C-alpha cells in the first residue's frame, strides 16, 4: 500500500499560494498539511490534509476524500475544506496526476481508468490511517471519477457528493472526429483546453484568479478526453448500482459540462439514496459562484452533511 511521502516544499508552497489566490471566501481557518504519495507506477501526487479544530471536535465526525476537476488543482478548495472541517470532518485532497503540483506528464492519461486507480490508492492509504469509510466529494471531472468509483464499487464509500459532475459533454461532430484522429495518431499531444473561464462563475474575481493561477493547465490531450468519454458512458450505465447516499449539486446554466448528464444519472440512481439541488442560474463552479448563490450552495451541503453524519460504518477491508 502506498504511503504518504516526504513533502516537496517548493511544489507544495507554489500550490498553496495558487490555492489561496483562487479560493474565494474568508481567511484560511484550517491550514492544510501537505504530503506526497507515490503511486504504484512511481508517480508522486501532492496531497493536502485538513483537520477539524480539536477544541470543537475531540474526534472527527468523519472523513472526506475530495477530487478536483479538469486542469485545476486541489489548492483551489481551501474554502470548501474550511466548511467541511467546520462540520467536524477531516479532509484529504490531492492533485490529479499531470495536474497542479503532482507528478506525471501534463494532462496525459496513460489509460482511461488511470484516475480511478489513483483514487483507489489514495483511498487505501486513508483507510489504513483513519480506519473508516470516507465520504467522496468530486467536482466536474472529479465528480465523474467519484461517481465511477462509487457505482463500479471499486471500494465502499460512506456517501457521495457530486458538484457539477462531468456526466455528459456537449461535443460537436467535428470535435469528435478530430478526437478520434488524435487518439489514434497522437494521444499525448497537448492542444488548447476549450474551457472558457468566463463560464466558470458569475464572480469576476474567480474568473480573473483562475486565469492568473500558474497551476491551472491550459491544454488537454486526446487521452484525457477519452477517459471522459468512456467514463461518462460507464457511470450512466452503472448509476443503479449506487450503494451510498448521494447529494448532487448542479448548476443549470453550466456551459462547461452538460447538466443533462446529472439529471440522467440522478434519475437512474436508487430513489432512496439520492438527493439533488438544482440551481437554474448557476454556472459550472458552484462552490465559487457569486453571492448569494455560493452561500446557498454551501448551506445546502452543510445541511445535507449534518443529516448524514451519523456514526460511520465500520471500515471494511478493500477487496483484494
Distances (CA, A) of 12 to 8, 99, 202, 210, 271: 6, 13, 29, 18, 41
Q: What is the pLDDT at residue 309?
A: 83
Residue 81 has pLDDT above 80, yes or no: yes
b (16+ CB within 10 A) / e for 157-188: bbbbbbbbbbbbbeeeeeeeeebeebbeeebe
Q: What is the pLDDT at residue 305?
A: 96
For the residues 110-123, what does the mean pLDDT come to? Answer: 97
Distances (CA, A) of 186 to 191, 221, 222, 228: 11, 9, 8, 17
**pLDDT band, very low/low/confident/very high, at 8 (cuts 50, 70, 90):** very low
Q: What is the pLDDT at residue 29?
A: 77
The chain-wide mean pLDDT, for the chain, equals 90
* pLDDT tens profile 127-136: 999 999 999 9
More confident residue, 21 or 296: 296
Q: Is 194 exposed, middle or buried (0-12, 13-18, 19+ CB in 10 A)?
A: exposed
Closest CA relative to residue 98, chosen from 89, 106, 88: 106
Distance of CA 221 to the CA centre of its chain: 19
Residue ranges of domains in the chain: 4-308
Q: What is the pLDDT at residue 319?
A: 52
140 is catalytic: yes
- Please, what CATH class does the domain formed by 4-308 belong to? alpha beta
Q: What is the pLDDT at residue 175?
A: 87
**pLDDT band, very low/low/confident/very high, at 284 (cuts 50, 70, 90):** very high
Q: What is the pLDDT at residue 28?
A: 57
For the residues 16-36, what does the mean pLDDT come to? Answer: 62
Residue 112 has pLDDT above 80, yes or no: yes
Question: Which residues, other chains included, contact 287 with Cβ-Cβ below 8 Å and sequence gap of 6+?
Answer: 77, 79, 80, 139, 163, 294, 297, 298
Strand partners of residue 278 = 250
Which of 65-69, 170-174, 293-297 comes out lowest in average pLDDT? 170-174
Find out whether 250 and 259 touch, Cβ atoms under 8 Å.
yes
Ordered alpha helix ranges (H), 23-96: 78-86
CA angle 22, 104, 120 (to 5 degrees): 85
Q: What is the pLDDT at residue 267?
A: 98
**pLDDT band, very low/low/confident/very high, at 311 (cuts 50, 70, 90):** low
**pLDDT band, very low/low/confident/very high, at 7 (cuts 50, 70, 90):** very low
- Which of 87, 102, 140, 201 is the catalytic position? 140
Question: Which residues, other chains included, contact 9 with Cβ-Cβ below 8 Å and sequence gap of 6+?
Answer: none
Residue 10 has pLDDT above 90, yes or no: no
What is the spatial distance between Cα 122 and Cα 116, in angstroms, rounded to a whole number?
Answer: 10
- Which of 82, 254, 262, 312 is the catalytic position? 254
254 is catalytic: yes
Amino acid at each position: 500500500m502506498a504511503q504518504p511521502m516526504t513533502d516537496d516544499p517548493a511544489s507544495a508552497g507554489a500550490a498553496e499560494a495558487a490555492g489561496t489566490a483562487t479560493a474565494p471566501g474568508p481567511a484560511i481557518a484550517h491550514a492544510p498539511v501537505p504530503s506526497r504519495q507515490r503511486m504504484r507506477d512511481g508517480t508522486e501526487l501532492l496531497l493536502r490534509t485538513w483537520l477539524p479544530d480539536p477544541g470543537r471536535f475531540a474526534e472527527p465526525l468523519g472523513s472526506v476524500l475530495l477530487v478536483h476537476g479538469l486542469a485545476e488543482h486541489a489548492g483551489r478548495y481551501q474554502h470548501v475544506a474550511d466548511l467541511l472541517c467546520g462540520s467536524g470532518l477531516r479532509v484529504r485532497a490531492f492533485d490529479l496526476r499531470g495536474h497542479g503540483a503532482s507528478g506525471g506528464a501534463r494532462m496525459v492519461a496513460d489509460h482511461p481508468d488511470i484516475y480511478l486507480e489513483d483514487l483507489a490508492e489514495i483511498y487505501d492509504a486513508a483507510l489504513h490511517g483513519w480506519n473508516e469509510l470516507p465520504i467522496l466529494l468530486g467536482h466536474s471531472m472529479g465528480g465523474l471519477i467519484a461517481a465511477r468509483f462509487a457505482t463500479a464499487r471499486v471500494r465502499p464509500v460512506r456517501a457521495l457528493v457530486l458538484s457539477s459532475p462531468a456526466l455528459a459533454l456537449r461535443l460537436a461532430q467535428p470535435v469528435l472526429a478530430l478526437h478520434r484522429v488524435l487518439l489514434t495518431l497522437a494521444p499525448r499531444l497537448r492542444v488548447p483546453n476549450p474551457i472558457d473561464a468566463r463560464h466558470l462563475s458569475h464572480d469576476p474575481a474567480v474568473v480573473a484568479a483562475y486565469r492568473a493561477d500558474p497551476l491551472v493547465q491550459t491544454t488537454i490531450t486526446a487521452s484525457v478526453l477519452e477517459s471522459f468519454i468512456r467514463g461518462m458512458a460507464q457511470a450512466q450505465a452503472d448509476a443503479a448500482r449506487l450503494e451510498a447516499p448521494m447529494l448532487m449539486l448542479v448548476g443549470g446554466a453550466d456551459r462547461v459540462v452538460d447538466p443533462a448528464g446529472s439529471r440522467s444519472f440522478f434519475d437512474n440512481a436508487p430513489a432512496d439514496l439520492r438527493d439533488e439541488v438544482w440551481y437554474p442560474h448557476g454556472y459550472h463552479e458552484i462552490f465559487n459562484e457569486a453571492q448569494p448563490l455560493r452561500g446557498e450552495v454551501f448551506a445546502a451541503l452543510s445541511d445535507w452533511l449534518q443529516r448524514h453524519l451519523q456514526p460511520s460504518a465500520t471500515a471494511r477491508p478493500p477487496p483484494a
